[in-house]
Amino acid sequence: MTFELETVHKYPVKISLQKWFLKYLMDKLEACSCDISEKFFYLYCDLLQREKENQEAQYHHFPLPSSNKCIIIKGDGNFLSGGTTGLSLWQAGFALAEWCLENRERIVGKTVLELGSGCGFTGMAIAAGCSAKQVIMTDGHKKVLQQLVETVNINCSEEIIEVGSEDNQDLLLKTCVEETAVSVLNLPWENSSDVKIEEPPELIIAADVVYDPSSFKDLSKTLLNLLARTEGVEVILACTLRNEDTLNGLFATLGDQVSVIEEQPPGKDYFVYEHQFPVLFFRLTLLS
């Protein structure tokens, strides 16, 4: 999505943010002894009223570095929205997008599959900024998949092909962002081996999927299954370090068939987000 005034009108940013910005602007004008147009006060009152009514959809706009593109995500910013973790924006998702932009040469021309895509920020950032051949965003939660489809609808100007045929009911949507094919796939870790993936991924990525030990058996099975599909495929995991034992628990479940090497985190911040915990990056490959 290109960054234009029209886009901001269509997908308005959070009212609290608009209010904050307007107040900031008025304070600055006041500090320079400038007259403040009464339109600003009317607008401020209008925002207060709309915030009280609280019925409008709100969008987050994230400009992509060194381009006029931005990623737009619909959401209220609550951590556990709709009874799932997948409807929020997570720190590791931003960090993984930054890692991908910084390691673009490892992604150009490749088919990338993302596990636990959540809102779809990371996948969309890769599609818009890394010249991948294909980005397959996946999740296993019904509401999250709906949000993923909506994210793609908002951010892709190309024709959206809604799929989910008898042949492959899990493939929910297909489109492209410039030269990158983008799709949304229902891929629950519990039965990932039954899911048909049209093109074998060459790179598998996931952000903040290592937090619930009860999911490790299925997540490990999914990772091992995907690693075995294509020769030379690698997994990049961006893990929020809340508890070291939890992280080690996943590696223990993966067992000795997999090599785990820590990767350098991105050197720069490309997006504005809260840095609450360290985010560690790991490269997983299958040992021969």
The 8-class DSSP code of residue 69 comes to B
Distance CA 160, CA 153 (A): 7
Interacting span for ligand SAM (CB under 6 A) from 157-165, 172-180, 203-211, 242-250: 203-211
- Select the residue interacting with ligand SAM from 132, 173, 209, 237 (CB under 6 A): 209
Please name the residues in contact with 117: beta carbons below 8 A apart, sequence gap of 6 or more.
86, 123, 137, 138, 139, 144, 148, 184
Contact 179, 131 (CB under 8 A): yes
Among 44, 218, 249, 283, binds ligand SAM (CB under 6 A): 218
Compute the distance between CA of residue 243 and CA of residue 12 in angstroms, rounded to an integer.
Answer: 37
Q: Cα–Cα distance between 99 and 130 in angstroms, integer?
A: 11
Q: Which two tokens stand for residue 217?
A: 């058996």
Q: Which C-beta is closer to ligand SAM: that of 253 or that of 259?
A: 253
Question: Among residues 107 and 209, whose Cβ is nearest to ligand SAM?
Answer: 209
Q: Are strands 258-263 and 279-286 parallel, antiparallel or unpaired?
A: antiparallel
CA–CA separation, 62 and 272 (whole Å)? 8
Closest separation between CB of residue 228 and ligand SAM, Å? Answer: 19
Phi–psi pair at 225, nearest 5 degrees: -65, -45
Q: Which is nearer to ligand SAM, 47 or 219 (CB)?
A: 219
Q: Residue 19 Cβ, how far from ligand SAM at the closest point, in Å?
A: 26
Nearer residue to ligand SAM within complex by CB, 18 or 123: 123
Among 206, 199, 231, 230, CA closest to 220:
206
- Name the token pair of 93: 């998702």
Give the count of residues interacting with ligand SAM (CB under 6 A).
22
Q: Binding of ligand SAM at residue 110 (CB under 6 A)?
A: no
Q: How far is the CB of 282 from ligand SAM (least distance, A)?
A: 15
x/- string (CB under 6 A) for ligand SAM, residues 155-194?
---------------------------------xxx----
* Interface with ligand SAM, residue 60, by CB under 6 A: no
Q: What is the DSSP letter of 174?
A: E
Q: Does 253 bind ligand SAM (CB under 6 A)?
A: no
* Alpha helices in 32-131, H assignment, sequence order: 38-53, 91-102, 121-129
Q: Which is nearer to ligand SAM, 47 or 250 (CB)?
A: 250
The reply to whether 82 sits near ligand SAM by the rule CB under 6 A is no
Q: Is 113 within 8 Å of 85 (Cβ atoms)?
A: no
Return the residue of 62, 75, 86, 233 that touches ligand SAM, per CB under 6 A: 86
Give the binding range for ligand SAM (CB under 6 A) out of 39-47, 134-142, 193-201, 245-253.
134-142
Contact 282, 237 (CB under 8 A): yes
Least separation in angstroms between residue 85's CB and ligand SAM is: 4
User: Where do contacts with ligand SAM occur on this chain (CB under 6 A)?
Assistant: 84-86, 89-90, 92-93, 116-118, 139-141, 144, 188-190, 207-209, 215, 218
